[in-house]
């Protein structure tokens, strides 16, 4: 990159106007030896809808980009971009990405997309966001978007992880929202975070699928069972988690939606490598 090239306009980016831009790392926070988040500069021309994903990555030694799909964890109005990532010891990308420091460069694709967007759901009363592990990322975006609270009377985010430390990001983020200048007044009484663990002692334990099936989730929250006339859902996690939660949505009578045909629930696989 030449010293005078503006951010996102490197020689490589100019050579390929559809290729990734090069963004600067602004902050990095490690939660556990498996999880971290980081923030990047956001090009002025980069537009997305809260809940979408984009390709991000690093240059390989041969100078070619190594890119993976990542949910954007920041809301669409934010001037910066935030991402929440797993660290896989021999993962081709994450083993290098976990070492980034402020000032380093990360590649950012130009075409955000995805189905975990409010537009892919029909109107309803209550919105569930079911997540496991890094599947919380798109919901970190949506819970910070005022549109979410304009469209739904109640927003319930569930996050299930193996151990308590892995819940740090979601718990800190949701806790900070009450002081947020944009959504602080909207979240009060509307937003609930429901956290559970599966492998470490915690007041609330169990897979979300079990807690939906045995009704504990609804009893704990004081809400009626899933009802297609009022409830909408988004889910993000491993392939197996999505398939299992999807089966429970279908059983409750909710239909799967998409950008082209909005309906009652939408799914997306969390980044995993």
Q: What residues line the site for ligand A2P (CB under 6 A)?
A: 132-133, 160-162, 198-199, 207-209, 237-238, 240-241, 244
CA–CA distance, 53 with 271 (Å, rounded to integer): 10
Shortest spacing between CB 124 and ligand A2P, in angstroms = 23
Shortest spacing between CB 134 and ligand A2P, in angstroms = 7
Longest CA span, the chain: 60
By beta-carbon proximity to ligand A2P, the closer residue of 207 and 216 is 207
Shortest spacing between CB 137 and ligand A2P, in angstroms = 12
**Strand positions, DSSP E, the chain:** 21-30, 35-41, 53-59, 65-71, 80-86, 105-108, 126-132, 154-161, 191-197, 231-237, 265-269
DSSP, residue by residue, 88-99: -TT-TTHHHHTT
By beta-carbon proximity to ligand A2P, the closer residue of 57 and 237 is 237
By beta-carbon proximity to ligand A2P, the closer residue of 8 and 133 is 133
Sign of the Cα torsion 137, 140, 145, 147 reads positive
**Strand positions, DSSP E, 102-237:** 105-108, 126-132, 154-161, 191-197, 231-237
By beta-carbon proximity to ligand A2P, the closer residue of 86 and 187 is 86
Shortest spacing between CB 270 and ligand A2P, in angstroms = 7
- At 121, list the tokens: 């759901």
By beta-carbon proximity to ligand A2P, the closer residue of 168 and 238 is 238
Shortest spacing between CB 56 and ligand A2P, in angstroms = 20
């Amino acid at each position: 990159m030449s010293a005078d090239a503006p951010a996102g306009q490197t020689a490589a980016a100019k050579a390929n106007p559809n290729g990734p831009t090069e963004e600067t790392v602004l902050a990095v926070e490690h939660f556990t030896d498996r999880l971290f988040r980081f923030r990047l500069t956001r090009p002025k021309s980069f537009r997305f809808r809260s809940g979408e994903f984009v390709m991000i990555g690093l240059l390989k030694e041969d100078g070619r980009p190594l890119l993976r799909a990542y949910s954007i964890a920041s809301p669409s109005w934010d001037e910066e971009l935030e991402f929440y990532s797993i660290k896989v010891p021999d993962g081709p990308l994450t083993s290098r990405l976990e070492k980034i420091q402020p000032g380093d460069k990360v590649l950012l694709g130009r075409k955000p997309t995805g189905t975990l967007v409010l537009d892919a759901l029909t109107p309803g009363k209550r919105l569930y966001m079911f997540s496991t592990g890094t599947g919380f990322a798109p919901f970190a975006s949506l819970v910070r978007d005022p549109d979410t609270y304009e469209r739904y009377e109640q927003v319930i985010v569930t996050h299930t992880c193996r151990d308590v430390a892995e819940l740090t990001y979601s718990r800190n983020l949701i806790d900070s929202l009450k002081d947020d200048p944009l959504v602080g007044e909207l979240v009060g009484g509307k937003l609930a975070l429901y956290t559970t663990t599966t492998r470490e002692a915690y007041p609330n334990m169990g897979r979300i699928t079990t807690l939906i099936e045995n009704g504990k989730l609804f009893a704990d929250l004081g809400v009626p069972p899933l009802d297609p006339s009022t409830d909408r859902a988004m889910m993000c996690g491993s392939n197996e988690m999505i398939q299992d939660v999807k089966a429970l949505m279908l059983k409750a009578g909710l239909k799967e939606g998409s950008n082209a045909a909005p309906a009652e629930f939408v799914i997306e696989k969390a980044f995993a490598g």
